[in-house]
Amino acid sequence: MSFLSQTLARVKPSPTIAMTGRARELAAEGRDIISLSAGEPDFDTPLHVREAAKAAIDAGHTRYTAVDGIPELKAAICDKFRRENGLDYAPSQVTVGTGGKQILYNALMATLNPGDEVIIPAPYWVSYPDMVLLAGGTPVIVEGEMQNGYRITPEQLEGAITPRTKWVIMNSPSNPTGAGYSEEHLRGLTDVLMRHPQVWVLADDIYEHLVFDDFRFATPAQVEPGLKDRTLTMNGVSKAYAMTGWRIGYGAGPETLIRAMAKLQSQSTSNPCSISQYAALAALTGPQDYIRTSREVFERRRDLVVAGLSECPGIVCPKPEGAFYVYPSIRDLIGKTSAGGTRIETDEDFASALLDETGVAVVFGAAFGLSPHFRISYATSDEILTDAVARIRRFCEGTR
């Protein structure tokens, strides 16, 4: 009998973390590597946030806190939802965890029974299906096609709902495509959900602040208040304030769900890091200019990458509404052979050959449930991106 659990056998390690690790190993061997695989802003955490964390240490905020967050932070989260999303939540409807990831994990663990289905639009963030599997549920994948801006349609959603559907996970702007659902797009989906009262909505709004051009962010509970009683609105400070390492995420929803999630957290990690909670408090309540600055930088980089990739033979690169990813198609490269002699049958072959022959690390589309594509994270400097795009172009030009 295996020592490791059968549950664990159902899931795979995160491919994005694996790709980042492989790029790091090659760099350690002295190879000239550009890693475009990590999903984190390349900026420093804003100064006032770092100072708040130091002050928290000096003030002795170094002990256990309430399991799912200090009251001051919960109050600041309620203010944030009111201010930015027009959503009214009481502190008892708010939970704070070790990253948005733990919020999602807690929600699924606290609610799924064997056979429960969770609708996940593809391409999806790599962790969703595996979290559902870990929690004993069944992921139901619905493909958002490139010609629909990678968004699923109301008809597709309707077709995927069964009496066993417990959740639908929405993520806008999306990792890995950067695609955003406007209020109008969301309205189409929320109208469907209003007809299916057994389905709850898990809104992953972690990229809320990274939206470009005239795209306006919207979240399901705001678009359709009739869904608020069965929506968990999740967000966090990782991407909005360059705080990935601090590990603070939060969610708001009905109290029964929030209490169940806190019970689970009380028997796993207990409170998220006390010092990080004070840092997150400063991020949410302090000056917000970091958000605008980073948005401008990311928008410029998006334009740089989309323009560069659009000149690569065999690549089609849609222009995303937000986040810091692009998700180009390589359909026209399938069946070709790279200059280094690799036959490209899949997007995984493409990503491996690209890394071996040019030193550029990207994540292949199969990891996100839609092929043949690859994901680039453009959360790195303009110079590095320009170099990377030039290498990708040479790679594409070299295929036969």
Q: Check binding of 236 to ligand PLP (CB under 6 A).
A: yes
Q: Check binding of 137 to ligand PLP (CB under 6 A).
A: no
CB nearer ligand PLP, residue 89 or residue 250: 250
Q: Would you mind telling me the total number of residues written for the chain in this entry?
A: 400
Half-sphere exposure of 157 (CA within 13 A, CB side): 23
The CB-of-171 to ligand PLP minimum distance in angstroms stands at 5
Asked if residues 173 and 210 have their Cβ atoms less than 8 Å apart, the reply is yes
Which window, 27-35, 83-91, 95-103, 177-185, contacts ligand PLP (CB under 6 A)?
A: 95-103
Which window, 94-102, 179-187, 193-201, 223-231, contacts ligand PLP (CB under 6 A)?
A: 94-102
The burial of 154, by beta-carbon neighbours within 10 Å (0-12 exposed, 13-18 middle, 19 or more buried), is given as: middle
The CB-of-268 to ligand PLP minimum distance in angstroms stands at 15
Residue-wise burial string across 52-90, b where 16 or more C-beta atoms lie within 10 A, e elsewhere: bbeebeeeeeeeebebbbbeebbbbbbebbeebbebebe
Alpha-carbon span 225 to 92, nearest angstrom:
19
CB nearer ligand PLP, residue 244 or residue 274: 244
Which window, 65-73, 83-91, 97-105, 154-162, contacts ligand PLP (CB under 6 A)?
A: 97-105
Q: Check binding of 206 to ligand PLP (CB under 6 A).
A: yes
Q: Can you list the pairs that 268-271 forms with residues at least 24 positions away whose Cβ atoms lie under 8 Å? A: 269/97, 269/98, 269/102, 270/64, 270/67, 271/64, 271/65, 271/66, 271/67, 271/68, 271/69
Which window, 52-60, 236-244, 357-365, 388-396, contacts ligand PLP (CB under 6 A)?
A: 236-244
Alpha-carbon span 104 to 325, nearest angstrom:
21
Count of residues binding ligand PLP (CB under 6 A)? Answer: 13
Q: Which amino acid is at 40?
A: E
- Binders of ligand PLP in range 18-47 (CB under 6 A): 39
Which window, 66-74, 96-104, 302-310, 374-382, contacts ligand PLP (CB under 6 A)?
A: 96-104
3-state helix, strand, coil in the chain (%, to 5): 45, 15, 40
Which listed residue (238, 277, 329, 358) binds ligand PLP by CB under 6 A?
238
Q: Check binding of 171 to ligand PLP (CB under 6 A).
A: yes
Q: Which residues are at the interface with ligand PLP (CB under 6 A)?
A: 39, 99-101, 125, 171, 175, 204, 206, 236, 238, 244, 249
